[in-house]
Amino acid sequence: MASVRILEGIGVGTRAVRAEVLRWSARKPLPAMAKSSLGPEVEVNTLSKAIANLENQYAAKIKAATDKDLREILEAQSAFASDPELADMAKDFCVQGWDAPSGLQLAMGEFKSLLEGAGGEFGERVADLDEIVYRLIQWMSGESEETILPTIGSFIIVADDLTPMDTIAFTDVVVGVVTKGGGPTSHTAIVCRSRGIPAIVACTGADELVNGQMVVVDPDASQAIINGELADIDVDWWAARTNQGGPLIQVMANVGSVADAAQVKSANGVGLLRTELFFLNNKVAPTRAEQQALYADVLAAGPDGEIIVRTLDAGSDKPIAFLGIGHEENPALGVRGQRVAAIAPKFYEDQLHAIKAAADSVKATGKKIEVSVMAPMIATVEEAQVFARDARAAGFTHVGIMIEIPAITRVIGQLKGVVDFMSIGTNDLSQYLFAADRVNSGVAALLNPWQPALLSILESIATDSAAAGIKVGVCGEAASDPLLAVVMAGLGINSVSASASSVAAVSELLSRVDNKAAKSAAKAARGATSARDAKSAAKQALLDG
């Protein structure tokens, strides 16, 4: 039997696939710089035709693109290709005697040099400029525009990296992707996620993969397995466990819009109703009546039961124009979440009253909901006291806070009698615990919710909350991972709130464990020294017991 080799990367998607490797042909190097032998008139003409042709190619692809993210990427590239500044500059080089490919490279080189060292989103655009140069020169040299895919079979496409133009050419024969470059937010990852193609990006060992080799792409484990078998990563590994008749702990849903709310109508309550998404496009503050109408719509559309509404979590990656937060060097550490109340006191007060009025009006229609409020980004007991006082003054009897700043986790005992419940936001908690920016793909591995330090702090929060008699749930992305939800139950967490698309899967696995099994999974995960080991140890514990 062929030997099995595991290549690590970053997984995109959840479904594992197995197929044969097809290496996406490496691009030919660009032609060397050359002076024209045909004269400037011919070169300028070639250049204009190439640009017109590429514009047509983009127009056709934009029209055919059904995915919004992909369409925006293509539109941006198309706009660069038809930029008159580029054409004019390239033509000037042709007039100076260069051939069309050289003139183009020299012109684009000037734009690229202006972007060098820009880093981040601006630096990443250099790849778009390279793509345009490559496509134009390919046309000038008369080569076919697409790599030819087989029409029959199933293939895992392997490449150093892929451009949107590459991925758009994928047909149904492409069942998986492995790239050496890229990250969780790169073009390849975005397109694969939206098209449902499992992928491993940032896979440094991708060079080892050769055509014809059978490989398993397991995004859940972030691995490409040479000569692997799908049976080894059976997604229904827990199916043999007996269904206990209901989830071990309460499974609620995260909701941010009326559409979300309608989708989770059968969930056991809403553990996180985000309110900031309603206002991201508002240039002026909504009135109290406008807010009340928005909240009433979403409450009416959603499930019955306990509904936890989070007050405005604006700032940082969720800027809201009318609040006047202004420019901050480190917005993740700046005026955001509950801290905004101090600079926008009217909105803060309006919101609490609008939520209460909306809850009362929807209850009056006969809908069985119990609405409570919680504040995001609470760092101190004093902040919690202020929020609880204001929320109770607005008429709420059930008041909570988010646990997402490490500082508050050290003083949970002092929250006794101050708040009625707490909800852990694992995304921000990880960001602050690991000093790792949530929107920087370079530090993505630190934000893996299976990190032992995160599990340790979850356990400590659960223990302290139980001692203080305060209910604690988890509403971060981590609670959407069914196995991790089981571990949370074992650590002493009282409820989880998962994304709308994950509620069913989380409920399913939580219905197939008892307290003893969840505790043994939690214990196994807590004993691990890496995120990967924690996850596999938890799974093994459930398989064993």
Q: Catalytic residues, which ones? A: 187, 475
Residue from 30, 106, 214, 321 that binds other proteins (CB under 8 A)?
Answer: 321
Q: CB of residue 122 vs other proteins: minimum separation in angstroms?
A: 5
Residue from 55, 95, 111, 290 that binds other proteins (CB under 8 A)?
Answer: 111
139 versus 279: smaller Cβ distance to other proteins? 279
| Count of residues touching other proteins (by CB under 8 A) | 27
Q: CB of residue 485 vs other proteins: minimum separation in angstroms?
A: 31
Q: Are the C-beta atoms of residues 249 and 507 closer than 8 Å to each other?
A: no
C-alpha dist (Å) from residue 384 to 412, 419, 457, 513:
11, 7, 20, 35
Residue from 84, 142, 196, 245 that binds other proteins (CB under 8 A)?
Answer: 84
321 versus 466: smaller Cβ distance to other proteins? 321
Point out which span in 68-76, 239-247, 296-304, 462-470 binds other proteins (CB under 8 A): 68-76
Residue from 34, 52, 60, 118 that binds other proteins (CB under 8 A)?
Answer: 118
What is d(CA 282, CA 529) in angstroms, rounded to the nearest whole number? 45
User: Under the criterion CB under 8 A, does residue 401 sit at the interface with other proteins?
Assistant: no
Q: CB of residue 57 vs other proteins: minimum separation in angstroms?
A: 17
Residue from 33, 34, 76, 289 that binds other proteins (CB under 8 A)?
Answer: 76
User: Under the criterion CB under 8 A, does residue 134 sit at the interface with other proteins?
Assistant: no
User: Under the criterion CB under 8 A, does residue 161 sit at the interface with other proteins?
Assistant: no
User: Under the criterion CB under 8 A, does residue 467 sit at the interface with other proteins?
Assistant: no
The radius of gyration of the chain's CA atoms, rounded to the nearest angstrom, is 27
Residue from 122, 207, 501, 516 that binds other proteins (CB under 8 A)?
Answer: 122
Residue from 20, 55, 67, 75 that binds other proteins (CB under 8 A)?
Answer: 75
Point out which span in 14-22, 45-53, 94-102, 122-130 binds other proteins (CB under 8 A): 122-130
Interacting positions 483-522 with other proteins (CB under 8 A): none
User: Under the criterion CB under 8 A, does residue 69 sit at the interface with other proteins?
Assistant: no
Which two structure tokens, joined as six digits, stand for 425? 């936001």
Q: Are the C-beta atoms of residues 400 and 421 closer than 8 Å to each other?
A: yes
User: Under the criterion CB under 8 A, does residue 238 sit at the interface with other proteins?
Assistant: no
What is d(CA 241, CA 231) in angstroms, rounded to the nearest whole number? 18
Q: Are the C-beta atoms of residues 422 and 472 closer than 8 Å to each other?
A: yes
Nearest one of 200, 194, 306, 217 to 16, comparing CA atoms: 217
Sheet hosting strand 223-226, strand order edge to edge: 5-8, 223-226, 214-218, 17-23, 155-159, 174-179, 199-201, 10-12
Interacting positions 276-295 with other proteins (CB under 8 A): 280-281, 283
Nearest one of 19, 23, 82, 24 to 50, comparing CA atoms: 82
User: Under the criterion CB under 8 A, does residue 143 sit at the interface with other proteins?
Assistant: no
Sign of CA dihedral 443, 449, 454, 457: positive
Q: In sequence order, which residues have a C-beta less than 8 Å from that of residue 342 and are 6 or more positions away?
A: 335
User: Under the criterion CB under 8 A, does residue 121 sit at the interface with other proteins?
Assistant: yes
Nearest one of 138, 46, 146, 133 to 81, comparing CA atoms: 133
Q: CB of residue 83 vs other proteins: minimum separation in angstroms?
A: 5
What is d(CA 213, CA 97) in angstroms, rounded to the nearest whole number? 48
User: Under the criterion CB under 8 A, does residue 64 sit at the interface with other proteins?
Assistant: no
DSSP assignments along 27-89, one per residue = PPPPPPP-B-SS-HHHHHHHHHHHHHHHHHHHHHHHHH---HHHHHHHHHHHHHHT-HHHHHH
User: Under the criterion CB under 8 A, does residue 63 sit at the interface with other proteins?
Assistant: no
114 versus 411: smaller Cβ distance to other proteins? 114
Q: CB of residue 318 vs other proteins: minimum separation in angstroms?
A: 9
Nearest one of 130, 92, 96 to 112, comparing CA atoms: 130
Q: CB of residue 331 vs other proteins: minimum separation in angstroms?
A: 9
What is d(CA 295, CA 275) in angstroms, rounded to the nearest whole number? 8
Nearest one of 60, 40, 147, 24 to 100, comparing CA atoms: 40
Residue from 34, 38, 114, 239 that binds other proteins (CB under 8 A)?
Answer: 114
Point out which span in 6-14, 144-152, 182-190, 324-332 binds other proteins (CB under 8 A): 324-332
User: Under the criterion CB under 8 A, does residue 317 sit at the interface with other proteins?
Assistant: yes
Q: Are the C-beta atoms of residues 376 and 429 closer than 8 Å to each other?
A: no
Position of tokens 């499974």?
251
User: Under the criterion CB under 8 A, does residue 83 sit at the interface with other proteins?
Assistant: yes
Q: Which residues bind other proteins (CB under 8 A)?
A: 72, 75-76, 79-80, 83-86, 111, 114-115, 118, 121-122, 125, 129, 280-281, 283, 317, 319-321, 326-328
